[in-house]
């Protein structure tokens, strides 16, 4: 499979496409703002004016957009993927989205004799740039095995989680862990500062111990430098937490830590930080 369509060129999508191009794949791209794709077009990607134009001749179609409503539009909307879907095409949605929507996409793909994998990712802009993303996959296991070599072009920890929707449920677990961990990271730094310590030196001790985490190693240094540009947008993180809380409610599961984090990030949205990275939570303590 050499012909790929990629819909959605955001913070991570751009780096993923770059890895695919370097690996020799033919990549046709579509995103709502063409200027965002300018660098990739110079590097060999082909532009499509519509989703259908990108998808119609592709053997494999990646999507990586913002919200579940965007996923629904891209697949089921007018001039969406399923309008031109054909037998044996494989669609891979890497958006963090609703498990129920992933199941719906898989069912429609099956009706069209296509195949679908939900494959949300974790690792932020750094993981995308380095080709070390964690990829959590749901769908048909044989189809997963078929596309796994391609996922290895930009991913490092690629795990089959189960049937359709399982990848999205796994990503919800990932986001729940991050949500409360980010609170701990911010509070540890603020505590160190108020105790008169050098927070950079404190990080050198605690990041490699039992308190260590991806956020502590990668985002805490950004906080201390005042770098709040997005590796992952606050507005998208809030969306993820809302999906997780809705799923938990259907399971009759109470998640007070997640609810508290959601409330804190909602306040950041109200303060105009929706376009910043999740590490901007540090500002709430300052």
157 lies in the same domain as 229: no
Quick: pLDDT tens for 126-181. 899 999 999 999 999 999 999 999 999 999 999 999 999 999 999 999 999 999 99
Task: Give Cβ neighbours of residue 133 (< 8 Å, ≥ 6 apart).
Answer: 12, 16, 121, 122, 123, 127, 154, 155, 156, 157
28 lies in the same domain as 136: yes
182 lies in the same domain as 269: yes
Give Cα 48 distance to the centre of its chain: 23
The domain boundary, picked from 162, 179, 207, lies at: 162
93 lies in the same domain as 208: no
Task: Please identify every residue annotated as catalytic.
Answer: 171
Rg for the chain, CA atoms, rounded: 19
Global pTM value: 0.93
CB half-sphere exposure, 242, CA atoms < 13 A: 11
Quick: pLDDT tens for 226-275. 999 998 899 999 999 999 999 999 999 999 999 999 999 999 999 999 99
Cα–Cα distances (Å) from 25 to 5, 49, 132, in that order, read 10, 20, 18
228 lies in the same domain as 109: no
E strand or H helix that includes residue 159: strand 155-162
CATH value at residue 135 = 3.40.50.720
The domain boundary, picked from 139, 162, 185, lies at: 162
Q: The tokens 């990739």 sit on which residue?
A: 40
157 lies in the same domain as 242: no
118 lies in the same domain as 156: yes
The domain boundary, picked from 113, 147, 162, lies at: 162
Task: Give Cβ neighbours of residue 242 (< 8 Å, ≥ 6 apart).
Answer: 262
Quick: pLDDT tens for 38-54. 999 999 999 999 999 99
91 lies in the same domain as 150: yes
Domain that residue 198 falls in: 169-285
**Rounded distance between C-alpha atoms, residue 180 and residue 264, angstroms:** 11
CATH value at residue 279 = 1.10.1040.10
150 lies in the same domain as 274: no
34 lies in the same domain as 143: yes
**Rounded distance between C-alpha atoms, residue 129 and residue 120, angstroms:** 16
Task: Provide the domain count of the chain.
Answer: 2
186 lies in the same domain as 257: yes
């Amino acid at each position: 499979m050499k012909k790929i369509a990629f819909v959605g060129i955001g913070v991570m999508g751009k780096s993923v496409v770059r890895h695919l191009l370097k690996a020799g794949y033919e990549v046709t791209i579509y995103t709502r703002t063409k200027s965002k794709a300018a660098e990739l077009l110079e590097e060999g990607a082909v532009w499509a004016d519509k989703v259908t134009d990108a998808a119609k001749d592709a053997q494999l179609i990646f999507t990586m957009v913002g919200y579940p409503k965007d996923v629904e539009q891209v697949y089921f909307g007018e001039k969406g993927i399923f309008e031109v879907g054909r037998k044996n095409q494989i669609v891979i949605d890497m958006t963090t989205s609703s498990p129920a929507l992933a199941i719906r996409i898989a069912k429609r793909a099956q009706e069209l004799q296509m195949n679908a994998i939900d494959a949300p990712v974790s690792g932020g802009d750094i993981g995308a740039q380095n080709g070390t993303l964690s990829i959590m996959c749901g769908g048909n296991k044989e189809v997963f095995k078929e596309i796994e070599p391609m996922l290895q072009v930009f991913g490092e920890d690629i795990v089959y989680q189960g049937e359709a929707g399982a990848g999205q449920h796994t990503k919800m677990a990932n986001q729940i862990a991050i949500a409360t961990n980010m609170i701990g990271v911010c509070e540890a730094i603020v505590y160190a500062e108020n105790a008169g310590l050098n927070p950079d030196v404190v990080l050198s001790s605690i990041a490699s111990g039992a308190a260590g985490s991806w956020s502590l190693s990668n985002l805490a240094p950004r906080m201390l430098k005042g770098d709040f540009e997005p590796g992952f947008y606050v507005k998208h993180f809030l969306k993820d937490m809302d999906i997780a809380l809705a799923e938990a409610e259907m399971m009759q599961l109470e998640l007070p830590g997640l609810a508290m984090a959601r409330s804190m990030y909602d306040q950041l949205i109200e303060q105009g930080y929706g376009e910043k990275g999740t590490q901007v939570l540090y500002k709430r303590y300052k």
